[in-house]
Amino acid sequence: MRHLHYLFFIGVTLFSFESIRAQIVDQEEFNQLEAKVIEWRRDFHQHPELGNREYKTAEKIAKHLRKLGIEVQTGVAHTGVVGLLKGGKPGAVVALRADIDALPVTERNDLPFKSVVKTQFLGENTGVMHACGHDTHTAILMGVAEVLAAHRDQIKGAVKFIFQPAEEGPPPGEEGGALLMVKEGVLENPKVDAIFGLHINSETPIGVVRYKTGGLLASAQRFVITVNGKQTHGSQPWSGVDPIYISAQIIDGLQSLVSRESNLLKEATVISVGKIKSGLRFNIIPESAEIIGTIRTLDYDMRDLIEKRMNEMVPAIAQAFGGSAEIEITEMTDITYNDADLVAQMLPTLQTALGTENVQLTKATTGAEDFSYFVREVPGFFFFLGGMTPGNTTPYPHHTPDFKIDESGMMHGVKVLTQLSIDYLNAKS
């Protein structure tokens, strides 16, 4: 990093190069934008859309970017939107990413902008809810775009705004998400030098950012197990082969891969079953059963071991009880790695924006993010943004009907992503 000097004064880091906070955007500009960002978020929250179906969401994003004079590409990875803001001076290219999809969750919160959207998901009736905070990510990045567009003449290089669909995974049988965006060349033309992303967190107080160098989020794999038995009357189980009973044995066996075969001193790993489907009537032992779940790992060797042992164990257990079983394992995300050099370079920017005490190290989590596919291609820095009201002792967990965040923390996200973009481009010029 050229011509970069830091002066520490009253615990706050100041930059000698063109600090966005000091010379380009003042705090009042962020303050004036807050109401708009909250309004956007509430609109997205009230009108959520599932992965690869974010038509209205994408339309609203694209309209906003075009109004700002940003070059816009739509239909990326089906429903994604990419904006390119060219600065007034030559330089590098930095990308910022926000995910835009919602989840098949029926909201339980009593909010004036509560989602009442209903749909079908995998043949089941369900509500649709932004139960993971992607509505906040989208609104935050729209705010960043507005701030940076107003100061484009002072920007060195370019900023690529990536509004990504289907982060929670595309519908079965479809491609989507970050992986498809990468395949379609979102990190090219112009080539991206670094990428930043954030995730609102309902267990982190507002005003706080939590980060980790290296592996931050786990890889996620989806598994589907089909168990085959022999149908019979429920009163005579001995005359058939019960796939539900076999499924119970398989599920029990899978947990032994975590508790007895994985070195948990090395990294965490999780195997969870999220869905079991079998049978139609109380007095009929069915012919088959289906088990669907997820595998989360933070180490590639552990991931390979678990995959190998599941492929061995599942058919063996079924055979032991007189049935048969097949297993299919599909990668959903890779491990999300934060580039060590990029983190070290940009950490002072976070500390400047929020205060050193509010930029905190965190441990890796078994949550997963397909942001991993972006950082597999270019250096990246992904972090958690506080969304919990300070003093709250009962956070609202992600992916639940009760998920809730404190909107007053959203502008911290706008400020941080704005300053990261400018400081990175300044340092690269």
Domain boundaries 219-333, CATH class: alpha beta
What's the pLDDT score for residue 393?
84
Give CATH 3.40.630.10 domain extents, the chain: 6-216+334-428
CA angle 260, 262, 266 (to 5 degrees): 135
| Two tokens, residue 301 | 């060797």
CA distances from 339 to 146, 272, 326, 336, 403 (A): 28, 29, 38, 10, 30
A 10 A CB-CB count for 4 gives 13
Name the phi and psi angles at 31, rounded to 5: -60, -40
Residue with tokens 């502008």: 411
The answer to whether 348 and 15 have CB atoms below 8 angstroms apart is: yes
Active site (catalytic) residues: 101, 167
Identify the sign of the CA torsion 34, 35, 40, 41. positive
Q: Write down the residue that tokens 């998901």 correspond to.
A: 121
The closest of 318, 313, 311, 141 to 223, measured between CA atoms, is 311
- CA–CA distance, 222 with 42 (Å, rounded to integer): 31
Q: Which residue do the tokens 């580039």 mark? A: 339
Q: Tokens 């500390």 appear where?
A: 351
Q: What's the confidence (pLDDT) of residue 25?
A: 82
How much is the pLDDT for 20?
A: 41
pLDDT of 3: 39
d(CA 421, CA 429): 12
Averages of pLDDT over runs of 10 residues in the chain (429 residues) are 36 38 74 97 98 98 98 98 97 98 97 97 94 98 98 96 96 94 98 98 97 95 97 97 98 96 93 96 98 95 96 98 97 95 98 97 95 98 96 91 97 98 94
Q: What is the pLDDT of residue 26?
A: 86
Question: What residue spans in the chain does CATH classification 3.30.70.360 cover?
Answer: 219-333
In this prediction the pTM is: 0.86
CATH number for the segment(s) 6-216+334-428: 3.40.630.10
DSSP symbols for 325-371 = EEEEEEEEE--EEE-HHHHHHHHHHHHHHH-GGGEEE---EEEE-TT
